Amino acid sequence: MKNVILSADDYGQNEGISQAIIQLAERKLISATSCLVNMDYWKTAASLLRPYQDKIDIGLHFNLTEGKPLSIGWKGGQLPSLKSLLFQSFARLLNKAQITAELNTQIDAFVSAMGFLPNFIDGHQHIQLFPQIREIIVNTIKERFNPETLYIRCIWDEFASLRCRNRNEFKRVALQLLGGLALKKTLVKHNILHNQSFSGVYDLTARIPYDHLFPNFLQTVQNNGIIMCHPGTRSKDAIYEAREAELLYFMSSQFAIDCDRFQIKVSRFNGVVPSR
- pLDDT digit string (tens) for 61-103? 999 999 999 999 898 899 999 999 999 999 999 999 999 999 9
- Of 14, 104, 106, which Cα lies nearest the Cα of 63? 106
Is the pLDDT reported for residue 147 higher than 70?
yes
Q: Where residue 170 falls among pLDDT bands split at 50, 70, 90?
A: low
pLDDT for residue 75: 87
Would you list the DSSP string of 7-23? EEEEETS-HHHHHHHHH
pLDDT at 25 over 60: yes
77-81's contacts with Cβ under 8 Å and 24+ in sequence apart are none
pLDDT of residue 162: 43
Stated length of the chain: 276
More confident call, 184 vs 167: 184
Query: Would you place residue 256 in the very low, low, confident or very high pLDDT band (cuts 50, 70, 90)?
Result: very high
pLDDT for 159 equals 55
Average pLDDT, the chain: 91
CA–CA dist 164, 141 (Å, integer): 34
Q: Are strands 57-62 and 264-266 parallel, antiparallel or unpaired?
A: unpaired
Residue 255 has pLDDT above 80, yes or no: yes
pLDDT reading at 166 higher than 70:
no
Q: In this prediction, what percent of the chain has a pLDDT beyond 70?
A: 91
Could you read off the pLDDT of 2-21 as tens digits, one per residue?
Answer: 999 999 999 999 999 999 99
3 state SS of 150: coil
Alpha helix ranges (H) inside the chain: 15-26, 42-49, 82-90, 96-114, 133-144, 167-175, 181-189, 210-220, 240-250, 253-261
Give the model's pLDDT for residue 270: 67
**Cβ contact 87:131 at 8 Å:** no
Per-residue pLDDT band for 237 (boundaries 50, 70, 90) equals confident
Q: How many CB atoms lie within 10 A of CB 189?
A: 9
What distance in Å separates the CA atoms of residue 96 and residue 89, rounded to the nearest whole number?
Answer: 10
CB atoms within 10 A of CB 155: 28
Nearest Cα to Cα of residue 236 among 7, 10, 6: 10
- Which of 160-169, 172-181, 198-207, 253-262 comes out lowest in average pLDDT? 160-169
Report residue 104 CA to chain centroid gap. 18
Pick among 3.20.20.370, 2.60.40.1120, 3.30.70.20, 3.40.50.620: CATH of 2-271: 3.20.20.370
Whole-model pTM: value is 0.92
**CA 260 – CA 247 distance, rounded (Å):** 19
